[in-house]
């Protein structure tokens, strides 16, 4: 069996060798060995296997593919395109043939295909576009155009006037939104121009014919009606149309100050601008405002300034015959200058203040003798020059003249006695006379300077600081009592038992201190425990009329009857056994202790 198989192989090899000897015969053999018909695009190579194959060399097949498909071969060599971006592999890994005329050389899922691997990455709206919109059925996928105009020719509203570089302005996110950099043109967009729509300036799709001058777009908005010319940028800018950049201070010879800055241009510039020069004198614009009617000349700046036409801030009134001082400095011009001809204003006080003269000319017209410009109500009259100088409370600023001068028309016949003004204030009801100054001074009406030592009751000790009304219950001061008991009856802790001659024991330095000497002023000296006993312990009876104290007995039993524990069994001479130092200590009496001793 083995020998027969070897014989058959040798025969086959001989047959093949014989077939190879003839080209025609070789083609017939290849046709016989072909696995199947080629696809339509390769049909012309049905009888030419060597166009794609090299005998016994499978690696040469990829080179032959690249020789025929040169564009793909170039991508593979340069690592570009879809094929160049794939991992190195044989062509037959994806492309298979000999499966029939109607089969596709490459089978792939369009929905799963990653377009990122090609030379045309899909972005924006392109990612949502159907493949058939760009890839035609009878063309290779790689033959699809990459230029915008190839697909969007009908969408080109510019009609190719701007060329085919659509990507210069548009992108795949939205065809209607542009990203054109206007700064590369001869008209860079700044300020509000950046927000303007293209069609606002470019009325046609041919953008190259748009005007560059301001008036080309803003002619209808020119409120100056071309009187300022067409160089709008001289005054305006693109940030804000109403905002004016024209610098009147530096661009002209007339700087705008204060209120002039708020004035509209047309208020002064009424003629054809740049051709007729506007006058720079005040009267050129303010002739109608001149209330002086030219009487003060045309040099308005001597009195007025740009801060306020109605206010005269810079006129120096001190250079006139009437310097403004005090309240006059704040007075409005028209209060004194009642007409526009200022030179006719009066310079005397009475010329303006005749109606304010409460004295009705009784004191003359020299108001400045008493009044000043600082305050009309305040006066500077020197009262010391009169027969009644003002001192202390009389000179107080709060004391108005009318307090004494009831009639403002006549200040001279005013009485000078205290009682003339203070009769209603006299609480003494004239009982002390009308010489108020003998007790009162001008410093304080309620304070007195009366010397009480001149009276029948000199004030000493604690009496000195006591208020008058504490003793003088009524303004009739002479009826005040002089004995202690009249004022200190409620404070008499003795309840009149010791009489009313308080001064016998007390003095005015302190009521609680007393100076009565019982040893010298009485016949009963206090010794021992008696020295510490309160007066009222013994002096319990009221003093009889005409005496300081009630008479007391000097016997022990007169005070200690209730304390006699012997119940008088030893008699009334307690001192025979007891002594004042210690009542309970018994004096030694031997005779009394012996039987038969008699008691006193």
Query: pLDDT tens across 394-414, in order?
Result: 888 888 888 888 877 777 778
What is the per-residue pLDDT for 437? 84
pLDDT of residue 388 exceeding 60: yes
Q: How far is CA 213 from the centre of its chain?
A: 48
Work out the angle at residue 118's Cα, subtended by the Cα atoms of residues 115 and 119, and round it to the nearest 5 degrees: 130
| Residue 208 CB neighbours (<10 A) | 10
What string of DSSP letters covers 16-49? HHHHHT-HHHHHHHHHHH--SPPPGGGGGGTT-G
DSSP string, 46-61: TT-GGGT-BTTBTTHH
Compute the average pLDDT of residues 216-230.
82
pTM, to two decimals: 0.36
Confidence band, pLDDT 50/70/90 cuts, at residue 70:
very high
> In angstroms, rounded to a whole number, what is the distance separating the alpha carbons of residues 143 and 164?
19
> Which of the two residues, 96 and 25, has the higher pLDDT score?
96
383-396 burial: b if 16+ Cβ within 10 Å, else e: eeeeeeebeeeeee
Q: Is the dihedral of CA 108, 113, 115, 118 positive or negative?
A: negative
Instruction: For residue range 183-206, list pLDDT tens digits in order.
Output: 888 899 999 999 888 888 888 877
Residue 74: the pLDDT is: 92
Q: Residue 556 half-sphere exposure, CB side, CA atoms within 13 Å?
A: 17
What are phi and psi for residue 471, nearest 5 degrees?
-105, -40
The total of other beta-carbon atoms located within 10 Å of residue 129's CB is 13
Strands (E) across 514-572 are located at none
Instruction: Kindly report the average pLDDT of the chain as a whole number.
Output: 82
Where is pLDDT greater, at 177 or 383? Answer: 383
Instruction: Compute the average pLDDT of residues 526-544.
Output: 82
Predicted confidence band of residue 32 (pLDDT cuts 50, 70, 90): low
Question: Which band of pLDDT confidence, cut at 50, 70 and 90, is reported for residue 2?
Answer: low
Phi then psi for 440, rounded to 5 degrees?
Answer: -100, 155
What's the length of the chain?
600
In angstroms, what CA-CA distances link 298 with 289, 302, 316? 12, 9, 17
CA angle 580, 584, 590 (to 5 degrees): 95
Burial of 400 (0-12, 13-18, 19+ CB in 10 A): exposed
Task: Find which of 101-110, 143-152, 373-382, 532-541 is predicted with most confidence, using mean pLDDT.
Answer: 143-152
Q: What is the mean pLDDT of residues 319-330?
A: 87
Using the predicted structure, report yes or no on whether residue 596 has a pLDDT greater than 50: no
State in Å, rounded, how far the first CA of the chain is from the last one: 194
The mean pLDDT value for 216-229 works out to 82
Please indicate whether residue 547 or residue 515 has the higher confidence score (pLDDT): 515
Q: Mean pLDDT over residues 230-238, rounded?
A: 86
């Amino acid at each position: 069996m083995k020998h027969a198989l070897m014989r058959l192989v040798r025969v086959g090899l001989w047959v093949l060798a014989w077939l190879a000897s003839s080209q025609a015969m070789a083609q017939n053999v290849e046709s016989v060995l072909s696995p199947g018909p080629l696809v339509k695009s390769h049909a012309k190579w049905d009888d030419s296997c060597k166009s794609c194959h090299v005998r016994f060399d499978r690696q040469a097949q990829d080179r032959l593919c690249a020789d025929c498909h040169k564009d793909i071969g170039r991508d593979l060599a340069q690592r570009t395109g879809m094929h160049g971006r794939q991992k190195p592999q044989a062509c037959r890994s994806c492309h298979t043939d000999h499966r029939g005329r109607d089969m596709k050389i490459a089978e792939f899922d369009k929905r799963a295909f990653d377009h990122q691997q090609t030379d045309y990455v899909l972005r924006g709206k392109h990612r949502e576009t159907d493949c058939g919109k760009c890839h035609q059925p009878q063309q290779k996928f790689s033959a699809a155009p990459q230029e915008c105009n190839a697909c969007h020719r009908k969408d080109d509203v510019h009609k190719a006037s701007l060329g085919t570089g659509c990507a210069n302005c548009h992108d795949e996110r939205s065809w209607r939104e542009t990203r054109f950099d206007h700064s590369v043109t001869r008209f860079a967009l700044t300020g509000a121009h950046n927000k303007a729509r293209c069609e606002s300036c470019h009325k046609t799709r041919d953008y190259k014919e748009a005007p560059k001058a301001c008036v080309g777009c803003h002619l209808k908005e020119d409120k100056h009606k071309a009187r300022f010319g067409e160089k709008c940028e001289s005054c305006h800018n693109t940030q804000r149309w109403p905002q004016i950049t024209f610098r009147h201070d530096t661009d002209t010879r007339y700087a705008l100050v204060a209120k002039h800055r708020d004035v509209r241009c047309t208020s002064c510039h009424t003629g054809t601008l740049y051709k007729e020069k506007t006058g720079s004198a005040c009267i050129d614009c303010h002739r109608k405002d001149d209330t002086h009617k030219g009487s003060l000349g045309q040099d308005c700046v001597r009195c007025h300034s740009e801060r306020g036409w109605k206010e005269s801030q810079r006129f120096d009134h001190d250079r006139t015959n009437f310097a403004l001082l005090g309240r006059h400095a704040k007075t409005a011009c028209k209060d004194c200058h009642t007409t526009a001809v200022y030179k006719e204003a009066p310079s005397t006080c009475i010329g303006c203040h005749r109606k304010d003269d409460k004295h009705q000319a009784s004191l003359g017209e020299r108001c400045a003798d008493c009044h000043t410009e600082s305050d009309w109500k305040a006066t500077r009259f020197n009262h010391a020059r009169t027969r009644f100088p003002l001192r202390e409370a009389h000179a107080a600023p709060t004391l108005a003249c009318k307090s004494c001068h009831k009639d403002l028309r006549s200040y001279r016949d005013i009485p000078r006695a205290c009682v003339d003004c203070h009769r209603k204030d006299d609480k003494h009801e004239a009982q002390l006379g009308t010489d108020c100054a003998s007790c009162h001074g001008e410093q304080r009406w309620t304070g007195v300077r009366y010397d009480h030592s001149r009276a029948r009751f000199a004030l000493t000790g604690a009496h000195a600081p006591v208020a008058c009304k504490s003793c003088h219950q009524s303004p009739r001061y002479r009826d005040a009592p002089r004995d202690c008991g009249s004022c200190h009856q409620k404070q008499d802790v003795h309840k009149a038992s010791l009489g009313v001659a308080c001064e016998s024991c007390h003095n005015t330095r302190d009521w609680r201190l007393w100076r009565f000497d019982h040893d010298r002023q009485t016949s009963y000296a206090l010794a021992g425990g008696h020295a510490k006993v309160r007066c009222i312990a013994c002096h319990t009876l009221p003093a009889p009329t005409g005496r300081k104290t009630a008479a007391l007995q000097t016997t022990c039993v007169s005070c200690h009857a209730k304390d006699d524990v012997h119940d008088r069994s030893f008699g009334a001479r307690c001192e025979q056994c007891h002594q004042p130092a210690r009542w309970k200590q018994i004096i030694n009496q031997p005779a009394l202790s012996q039987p038969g001793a008699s008691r006193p």
